[in-house]
Amino acid sequence: MKKLLTIFVFIAFACTSSVQKNNDEVSANITLDQMLMEKSIYDFKLNDIDGNEVDFSQFKGKKLLLVNVASKCGYTPQYADLQKLNEEHGDDVVILGFPANNFGGQEPGTNEDIKQFCSANYGVTFQMFDKISVKGADKHPLYRWLSDKDLNGWNDKEPTWNFCKYFIDENGELKKFFASSVNPMDQEIIQLIKS
């Protein structure tokens, strides 16, 4: 009889633990989902191309243009236009370049290779970041935020190729997605910067 009672107690304990574990997992998922829903562009911290951490809270009150870039793409000459935009409107918009190798293996180099290429060929002085993934299973959380309407409020478009652009206003709100074919000096981008 004692053995039988011990077995029942063990089974009851195991079932209770399992239910508690499932409840804890549900709570953890809800908490994680809530945290993701509340995250803003200013909550991110990423390493720049030199490995230094950049806290995005420093961009509060500034307009941002985020661009996934690559060195061996048909759109690579847009680096020149991004640099021109930086030179002409850098007081009004911060350009952030994110090297990514997601499209046709067109950014195979190391951060040092990328930095050297951008400097030597286009004189890039705008902020460049550590190479990241901008789509797929390993998509960086920043690009998850940019391309998930549950996180950013409206947009589900992820980069379709290199040199897609996301415009963030001075309040940290994602305002516009631009496809690769839209030049950085496009009038619509200039108007958003000036508005």
What is the arithmetic mean of pLDDT over 60-76? 98
Cα angle 52-57-58, degrees, rounded to a multiple of 5: 70
Q: Radius of gyration of the chain from Cα atoms?
A: 23
Q: Whose structure tokens read 């950014």?
A: 107
79, 114 contact by CB (below 8 A) = no
167, 179 contact by CB (below 8 A) = no
HSE toward the beta carbon, residue 24, CA cutoff 13 A: 6
Gap between the Cα atoms of 108 and 100, Å rounded: 9
145: CB partners within 8 A, 6+ apart: 39, 41, 44, 151, 152
Say yes or no to pLDDT of 22 above 90: no
Q: Whose structure tokens read 């030597």?
A: 120
**Average pLDDT in the chain:** 87
Amino acid identity, residue 172?
Answer: G
CA distances in angstroms from 33 to 27, 30, 151, 153, listed in the order given: 10, 5, 10, 14
Q: What count of other Cβ atoms lies within 10 Å of the Cβ of residue 109? A: 16
- pLDDT digits 0-9 by tens, 114-171: 999 999 999 999 999 999 999 999 999 999 999 999 999 999 999 999 999 999 999 9
Assign residue 48 a region: left if phi > 0, alpha if psi is -120 to 50, beta otherwise?
A: beta
Say yes or no to pLDDT of 100 above 60: yes
Q: Could you say which of 3.40.30.10, 3.30.420.40, 3.30.360.10, 3.40.50.150 is the CATH number of the domain covering 41-194?
A: 3.40.30.10
Q: Where are the domains of the chain?
A: 1-38, 41-194
Model confidence band, residue 172 (pLDDT cutoffs 50, 70, 90): very high
The β-bridge relationship of strands 45-47 and 53-55 is: antiparallel
Among all residues, which ones are annotated catalytic?
Answer: 73
